Amino acid sequence: MKDFVAYIVKNLVDNPDQVKITEIGGTHTVILELSVEKSDIGKIIGKRGKTINAIRTLLMSVASRNGLRVNLEILEEEEAAEAEEK
């Protein structure tokens, strides 16, 4: 799942080398934390959130085939810095 999201996001942004995805796994739920450069956040969210919603829909489809639930979160710069420190 992490690779799937990375492939989509890296093809949308101007700085693909700044894309960082952290996977937090549980028994039936996976949380993916996405961190991109500040200038690329708008490209990921899209107008009225259509792009991020489309990514989440694709992700939920893949996850349901595997019997999982998935949640994709976009981290702001402050949250991304805290996540790297952990």
pLDDT at 25: 85
Chain segment 16-65, per-residue pLDDT in tens: 999 999 999 888 899 999 999 999 999 999 999 999 999 999 999 999 99
Give the three-class secondary structure for 72. Answer: strand
Describe the crossing of helices 2-12 and 50-65 by its angle, rounded to 10 degrees: 160
Q: What is the DSSP letter of 15?
A: -
Strands, E assignment, 1-86:
20-25, 29-35, 69-74
What are the boundaries of each domain within the chain?
A: 2-85
pLDDT at 79: 59
CATH architecture of 2-85: 2-Layer Sandwich (3.30)
The pTM score is 0.82
